[in-house]
Structure 1
Amino acid sequence: MKIIVSNRSELPIYEQIKSQIKEAIFSGNLAEGELLPSIRQLARDLKISVITTTRAYNDLEEEGFITSVQGKGSYVLPQNKEMARENTLRKIELSLNDAIGTAKAGGITKEEVIRMLNLLYREGE
C-alpha cells in the first residue's frame, strides 16, 4: 500500500491518510481482511507523528472501514457494496458539477457537454 502525504495539501495529514486508505478499499487494492501497516510503521514510513497515524486509523475504525485487534494489528473490514456504489456516485457527481461549472463559464452548451461525455465514455469502453 502506497500512501503519499503533502504538506501543501489543504487537507490535514490524517485526512490524506484516511482518504487514500478508503480509496484503496473502494478500488479493491486493499482487500477484506488485509492487514494494514502498523501505526508505528506507517508513521515511520511517512516520517510523521504516531499521533497523526493513530487519529487516521481511529477515524477509519469509527467509520467502519477497519478493525483493530490488540497485539495483532488493523485489518480491512468487509464493505457494503451499496455503500461503495454510493461513494462512487458521489465522486462522479462532484466531478460533473465541476465540469458543468467550467462549461458554463466557457460558454459551452449542455448538448456539447453531453456529446463530449458520450464520446469519452465510449472511448473508455
Structure 2
Amino acid sequence: MRLPIVINEHSAEPLYHQIEVQLRALIVSGQLEEGTMLPSIRELAGMVKCSVITVKRVYRDLEAEGLLRTRQGTGTFVTHVGEGDRNRQRLSSVVEALELALQAAIRVQCTREELEELIRDALHQHYDRGDEST
C-alpha cells in the first residue's frame, strides 16, 4: 500500500514527527479505515527514505495511542477509532499546528494584532473561494 506521506527534508521538524503527524491524520480523518493493513516497517522506511528505526518509533507511538495494532507475523493494522476519539485527535492536531504557528510568530516578533490579521486573511482566502471541505 502506498501512503501519501510527504517528507520535507528542509524542515527542522524531526522525520519521525513528520511521518507520525501525517499518518495520524490519515487515520483520524478516516482515509485509512479500521482494519487497513499498513506497509511493513522496512517498506515504509524505503518509501519515505528514512531509517527503519524511525518508522518503528512512529508505529510504536501510534500503537501506544491506540490507533494501530501490530500482530506478530501478520502486520500492522489500523484499529477502530471511536467518534469521540476521532474528534479529540482531529482537533488536537489542529491545536498542535496552531501552537507551532504561534511559536513561529513569536520568534519573528509578530504582534497579536498582526497574527490575528494573518489568521483572518487566511480564513477569508480559504473560505471565500469555496474550499470549506478542504
TM-score past 0.5 threshold: yes
**Deviation per residue, 1:24-50 (Å, 9 max, x gap):** 011111000000000011111222111
Number of the residue aligned with 2:39:
37
Look up the match of 2:88.
Answer: 86
Which of structure 1's runs of 4+ aligned residues deviate more than 4 A?
92-95
Taking only aligned residues, the RMSD between alpha carbons, in angstroms, comes to 3.1
1:82 is matched by which residue type in structure 2?
Answer: G
Percent identity, aligned pairs only, is 35
Task: Give structure 2 stretches of 5+ with no counterpart.
Answer: 103-109
Change (3 A) 1:54 1:92: closer
- Structure 1 residue runs of 5 or longer lacking an equivalent are none
1:105 pairs with 102, 106, 114, which one?
114
Cα offset for 1:103? 7.2
d(CA) in 2 for partners of 1:67 and 1:107? 41
Q: How does 1:1-125 map to 2 (within 5 A)?
A: 1-90=3-92, 91=94, 95=98, 104-105=113-114, 120=127, 123=130, 124=132
| Amino acid aligned to 2:34 | E
Larger Rg: 1
Q: 1:35 to 1:106 in 2, by over 3 A?
A: closer
Letter in 2 for 1:12: P
Higher relative contact order (CA 8 A, sep 6+): 2
| CA distance, structure 2, for counterparts of residue 106 and residue 70 of structure 1 | 48
TM-score by length of 2: 0.70
